Structure 1
Amino acid sequence: MVKLSAKGEDMATQPVEGPRFDVAQFIDDQPIRPRHIATLVIVSVVLFLDGFDMYFLGKILPAIAEGLGGTSVDMNPVVKYQQIGMFAGALVMPPLADKIGRKPVLALCLLGFGSLSLWAAWSTSFEMLTWLRGISGIFFSAMLPVGLAFLSEATPKRKRALFMAIALVCFSGGNLGSGVMVSWFLDDLGWEGFFIVGGVVPLAAMLLLLLVPESLSFRVNRNPNDPTVAQTLQQRDPNLQLAPGTSFYLGDQEEVSKFGPLAMFGPRYRMQTILLFSLCFFSLGNIAVLANYMATYMYEFTGMPLETFAFYMVIGYIGGASGTLVMGWLMDRMNPYWLIASYFIIDAIAIFSLGHIPPEVAIAFVTAIVVWNFAQVGGQTGINNLATLSYPPEMRSSGIGWAGATGRLGGIVFPILGGIALEERLSLDVILGLTAIPALIIAALVFTLGVVNGGVIGGRAGKRAS
């Protein structure tokens, strides 16, 4: 009813808030349907290609150096600037995905690193290759955080960690695929062939993104009154009745912060952010130095052929895939922090062992590689899941992306140290003994994060993440 003032003027009543609909609960209540599987498959393919392009260079580094008329040490700038590019991309691209959407950023990244990888096949100098891999790093470092955010927001909560683990197995599968190619086709394709494959296939894969819709969670955060959200919900459930003027929200999420991704540095998330970023620095730094130099260390210090080590890493993929799937299955069933910490303790032991087991003792050496991959890849899966699920949708891509950017700083520092170790000709047992120490630091940081958050992903903050 309209009230009248003493002068007879209308006094506007307070507007009545319209009905609201919980989109997060709707997503969580849905059974697994073909569209969920399609999203999983497409994100997995995209991450496979990302993993292939990211990791093949380290496996053929000496061959590239020889092809360009130099030695393995001449590739140090290529490795360094690739990591710098990945750092820059992890800072810029995930916030862009939180601003304009997951799909357009994934398409941009596929276009970027696909085109530049193809161009790199015709590199004529170390300087040219350094520039191309540096710029490529901007694009392929963003695929993982944006892809995981996209997948997590499309998947019911009860299957979220498992689906993310499966996608990460495929990311590691890109590492496997490059190992298989090195083992079987290096002589036939030459190092240039790897860049051609790493360029053409991502460009073709852009078409896959046309088959899946943009994230509902992203659309709700962008505009709670977006009419296309209602259309999408009713397409997914024809029996759903929505009143005119319905607005949408995500679970018990509070109002979207006006500070956007910068809110992760506010009081609610600050300690979690500091610890997550710190452990990513050591984890991705360790992964970077071993991915780029382990084959070279074995080649230089033990005389192991590149093809042989690549074959051993193919076997090691069994460990990586197993570690990832076990991590995804267990994270919903036990304290995730103690689980991840135990993985990195095992990781440290396996890395240390690889510096002391003679490659001639093939069974023991390959077993150590399998255990190392189980712990390293599975442990990183746990960290990625923590970073993805610990923040709400308005900062989800940025949360895992900026954690990854801090990791890319480690990816710059650690390979520089790895290159120095190569130049100084430190012994293999000393190099890998030093490389095992960061894994123990990671375990301690994860344990501390678990104490801070009370054993729950995100702690108090995690209750908002949907």
Structure 2
Amino acid sequence: MNQFDIEAFVDRQKVGAKQLTVLLVCGLVCFMDGFDIFMIGKIAPAIAEGFGEPPEAMAFLFVCQQIGLALGAFIVSPLADRFGRRRMLMLACASFGAITLLSVYAETLFQLSIMRAIAGLFMAAGLPMALSLIAETTPARRRSTFIALALAGYSSGSAASGAVAAWLIDIYGWQSGFWIGGIVPILCIPLLALFVPESLKFRAERNPNDPTIAKTLRRMDPDVALNGDEVFVLGSGNKKGQKARLSDIFTEGRGLMTAILWAACLLSMTNIALLGAWLPTFFQEMANIPIQRFAISAMIAYLGGVTGTLTIGYLMDRFTATNLIPLVYIGLAATMIALAYIPFESPIFIVVMIGWSFLLTGGQAGLNTFITQIYPPRMRSTALGWAGGAGRIGGVLAPLYGGMAIDQSFTLQLTLGLAALVPLAVAALVFLLGRTKYEMAT
């Protein structure tokens, strides 16, 4: 029996056209995922007006989409670990693309809300599936950097949804965002089919004797030595093919690790949802800063967010994640408190705002990257998807604190000071994880 180590083969590959192609195509999927998920919030007033409804009527739509995203993270994402990353990613693109296109024909806001819930099932799965494909195609020495680039694409999609909506909505109506959000994911399908191979690690864990693996290896490296009797394994040991099970992320000593990561993701995404939804309102109601003025600072701070995502990937290729990520979240808590005390008109405020965006986005990107590092390929999409699902529960709960702070006339200092406890808790959880036993997977 001639064993062929897939992990070693992938890790010794030079980063070239094949890896960059996977990054570009999967990065485009991440971009559109971010575009579609955050598009609604950017054009909500126009949608409400288009249906003759008051702005507060959009609350039901937001809840429906959030429920769909949470269910999709828990239900659809794990299917990639059973049926394949590429196949399920193509299905997800086709599904949320088609439903988004059909949404332009909704006759009532209720109909649109239900369609967004269904689309959310598949939108939630796009990111973890794309990240799994990138992680399992890229050599370990560049893996975190490539994942960070894909996450930067996701963040850019969120920003682009606001920019495109602002340019087109007055001419073509709210439907313009849905046309873009539906057509581009469908165009990703032939790109995935033609240029992105199914994960070698997924195939090897499913069936170590899969004959299609040899064909893919030869396309990646024409000089690879294969005799035709290989058994494809991950690592130096002989591993039998394994079908993914939902329980895998809790077995073999992973239960505590998974629980800690879920708690960290829940708190991290609660913080993101809270500040994303309420920070402009906090400054308007508590510091008398008009939303329009704050929006300019937020647009500049977006540059810090992209830089943070890219930087965290570079750093995680070089430093221990459970030491690095806590420092990021401690810094995030410090910038949140600083935003409350530094005068808005001060030149240093925008510097702190950029630092806040850098750490907010970089911290969550670090958690996502860390998950790809410590879970084996057969359960990687499940681990990413379910951690994201846990985080989205926090996204549903976060607005409650914002509404209470406004209703109780909290000061800006008290509001952000209490909110800063959340990233400190994330830092403590990840630090604790570093003191428990976990193994790095590739």
Aligned to 1:37: 20
Distance 2:368 2:190 in 1: 26
Q: Does structure 1 residue 172 correspond to structure 2 residue 155?
A: yes
Taking a change above 3 Å as real, the CA distance of residues 327 and 127 of structure 1, as seen in their structure-2 partners, is same
Distance 2:291 2:200 in 1: 49
Task: Give the counterpart letter for 2:72 in structure 1.
Answer: G
Distance 1:337 1:170 in 2: 25
Aligned to 2:140: 157
Distance 1:212 1:303 in 2: 48
Report the Cα offset of residue 198 of structure 1.
1.6
Distance 2:241 2:404 in 1: 46
Q: Secondary structure at the match of 1:372?
A: helix
Aligned to 1:79: 62
Task: Give the counterpart letter for 1:344 in structure 2.
Answer: Y
Report the Cα offset of residue 374 of structure 1.
0.3
Aligned to 1:4: none
Q: Secondary structure at the match of 2:314?
A: helix
Taking a change above 3 Å as real, the CA distance of residues 437 and 151 of structure 1, as seen in their structure-2 partners, is same
Distance 2:56 2:310 in 1: 36
Aligned to 2:209: 225
Q: 5+ residue gaps in structure 1?
A: 1-17, 454-458
Distance 2:285 2:89 in 1: 38
Distance 1:405 1:311 in 2: 31
Q: Does structure 1 residue 318 correspond to structure 2 residue 303?
A: yes
* Equivalent residues of 2:68, 2:120 under 8 A apart: yes
Report the Cα offset of residue 246 of structure 1.
1.4
Greater mean alpha carbon deviation, residues 152-161 or residues 78-87: 78-87
- 1:47-104 CA distance string (max 9 Å, x none): 0111111122223334444444444433322222222111110111221101111112
Q: CA RMSD in A?
A: 2.6
* Equivalent residues of 1:59, 1:292 under 8 A apart: no
Report the Cα offset of residue 451 of structure 1.
1.6
Task: Give the counterpart letter for 2:124 in structure 1.
Answer: S
Aligned to 1:3: none
Q: 5+ residue gaps in structure 2?
A: none
Distance 1:28 1:65 in 2: 51
Greater mean alpha carbon deviation, residues 60-69 or residues 398-407: 60-69
Task: Give the counterpart letter for 2:59 in structure 1.
Answer: N
Distance 2:276 2:385 in 1: 20
Taking a change above 3 Å as real, the CA distance of residues 429 and 267 of structure 1, as seen in their structure-2 partners, is same
Aligned to 1:266: 251
- 1:302-336 CA distance string (max 9 Å, x none): 46356x55544332221011111211111122222
**Number of aligned residues:** 439
- 1:426-464 CA distance string (max 9 Å, x none): 6655544443221111111111111214xxxxx3x32xx
Aligned to 1:106: 89
Q: Secondary structure at the match of 1:32?
A: coil
Q: Computing the radius of gyration over CA atoms, which structure comes out larger, 1 or 2?
A: 1
- 1:15-53 CA distance string (max 9 Å, x none): xxx111101101111111211110011111110111111
- TM-score w.r.t. structure 1 length? 0.86
Task: Give the counterpart letter for 1:371 in structure 2.
Answer: G
Aligned to 1:136: 119
Q: Secondary structure at the match of 2:290?
A: coil
Distance 1:70 1:358 in 2: 38
Taking a change above 3 Å as real, the CA distance of residues 335 and 251 of structure 1, as seen in their structure-2 partners, is same
Taking a change above 3 Å as real, the CA distance of residues 188 and 344 of structure 1, as seen in their structure-2 partners, is farther
Q: Does structure 1 residue 93 correspond to structure 2 residue 58?
A: no
Q: Secondary structure at the match of 1:154?
A: coil
Q: Secondary structure at the match of 2:76?
A: helix
Aligned to 1:216: 200
Distance 2:236 2:249 in 1: 18
Task: Give the counterpart letter for 1:264 in structure 2.
Answer: I
Distance 1:381 1:66 in 2: 35
Q: Secondary structure at the match of 2:174?
A: helix
Report the Cα offset of residue 240 of structure 1.
2.4
Report the Cα offset of residue 343 of structure 1.
1.2
2:315 to 313, 324, 330: 330
Taking a change above 3 Å as real, the CA distance of residues 344 and 188 of structure 1, as seen in their structure-2 partners, is farther
1:409 to 390, 393, 407: 393
Task: Give the counterpart letter for 1:396 in structure 2.
Answer: R
Q: Secondary structure at the match of 1:60?
A: helix
Taking a change above 3 Å as real, the CA distance of residues 195 and 429 of structure 1, as seen in their structure-2 partners, is farther
Distance 1:123 1:330 in 2: 46
Where in structure 2 are the equivalents of 1:41-56 lying within 5 Å? 41-56=24-39
Distance 2:422 2:51 in 1: 34
1:345 to 302, 325, 330: 330
Distance 1:74 1:362 in 2: 37
Taking a change above 3 Å as real, the CA distance of residues 109 and 415 of structure 1, as seen in their structure-2 partners, is farther
Distance 1:277 1:380 in 2: 12
Q: Secondary structure at the match of 1:21?
A: strand
Q: Secondary structure at the match of 2:25?
A: helix
Aligned to 1:194: 177
